[in-house]
């Protein structure tokens, strides 16, 4: 087993790099890439220093000792990595998001727009409950919809809406429509759900906050 110190070192390196890169959000940092990069760098320099190709031969053993497990941790994280989905936010929705989005909608956006580790796909638990994989009246897991992107927009009556865009090659619009109430229940309270058809095999689940922005104190 690897030392907790090594895992903490990977996290520290990720945070250090992201804090010194103001254009990059912490949520867009891949711990796998950073861990692998740090580990391979330590290994490369450690071997070079050991054979006196680089200065610092007295530190070569330490660099090799930590470089190898760090590289292994980085590869493991990279293998288990689930990349964030794109998020399109329209300018008029951005101002409403903070005031009108429910805590659950904010959490959904946060979860799917950052790197995750160990999950098969984004919103896996939600989709498992809504589509009831392998159960009576449900769908096979291999037919599960896959989240492709999210959008933040404003409805015609001025309400905040988070749109989940799924790809589902073996499902029909009716498979989503008959689960409309389940989407509203799972991602509620405080929202209504609408189902729509996108291009080709894409389907949209529109989660609309029922908070009236005009009723909020200015």
User: Apex CA 185: angle with CA 90 and CA 210, to 5°?
Assistant: 45
Strands ordered across the beta sheet of 202-209: 87-89, 146-154, 160-167, 202-209, 191-197
Structure tokens given for 68: 């190898």
Burial of 83 (0-12, 13-18, 19+ CB in 10 A): exposed
- Please tell me whether residue 84 adopts helix, strand or coil conformation: coil
Q: Are residues 66 and 131 in the same domain?
A: no
Q: Are residues 20 and 125 in the same domain?
A: no
Q: Are residues 73 and 166 in the same domain?
A: no
CATH (domain of 124):
3.30.980
**Does residue 132 contact residue 142 with C-beta atoms inside 8 Å?**
no
Q: Are residues 16 and 74 in the same domain?
A: yes
For the entire predicted model, the pTM comes to 0.73
Q: What is the pLDDT of residues 160-209, one digit of tens each?
A: 999 999 999 999 999 999 999 999 999 999 999 999 999 999 999 999 99
Q: How far is CA 145 from the centre of its chain?
A: 16
Give the domain extent around 8. Answer: 4-79
Q: Is the pLDDT of residue 142 over 80?
A: yes
Average pLDDT, the chain: 82
Under the banding of pLDDT at 50, 70 and 90, the label for residue 148 is: very high
């Amino acid at each position: 087993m690897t030392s907790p110190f090594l895992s903490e070192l990977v996290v520290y390196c990720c945070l250090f790099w992201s804090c010194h890169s103001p254009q990059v959000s912490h949520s867009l940092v891949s711990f796998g890439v950073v861990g692998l990069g740090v580990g391979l760098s330590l290994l490369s320099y450690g071997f070079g220093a050991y054979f006196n190709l680089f200065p610092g031969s007295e530190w070569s053993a330490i660099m090799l000792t930590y470089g190898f497990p760090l590289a292994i941790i980085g590869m493991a994280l990279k293998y288990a990595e689930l990349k964030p989905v794109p998020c399109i936010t329209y300018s008029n929705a951005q101002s409403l998001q903070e005031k009108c989005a429910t805590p659950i909608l904010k959490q959904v956006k946060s979860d799917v727009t950052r790197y995750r580790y160990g999950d098969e796909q984004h919103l896996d638990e939600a989709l498992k409950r809504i589509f009831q994989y392998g159960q009576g009246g449900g769908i096979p897991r291999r037919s599960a919809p896959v989240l492709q992107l999210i959008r933040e927009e404003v409805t015609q009556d001025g309400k905040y809406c988070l749109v989940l865009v799924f790809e589902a090659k073996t499902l029909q619009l009716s498979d989503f429509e008959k689960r409309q109430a389940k989407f509203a229940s799972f991602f509620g309270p405080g929202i209504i759900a609408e189902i729509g058809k996108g291009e080709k095999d894409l389907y949209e689940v529109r989660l609309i906050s029922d908070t009236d922005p005009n009723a909020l104190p200015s």
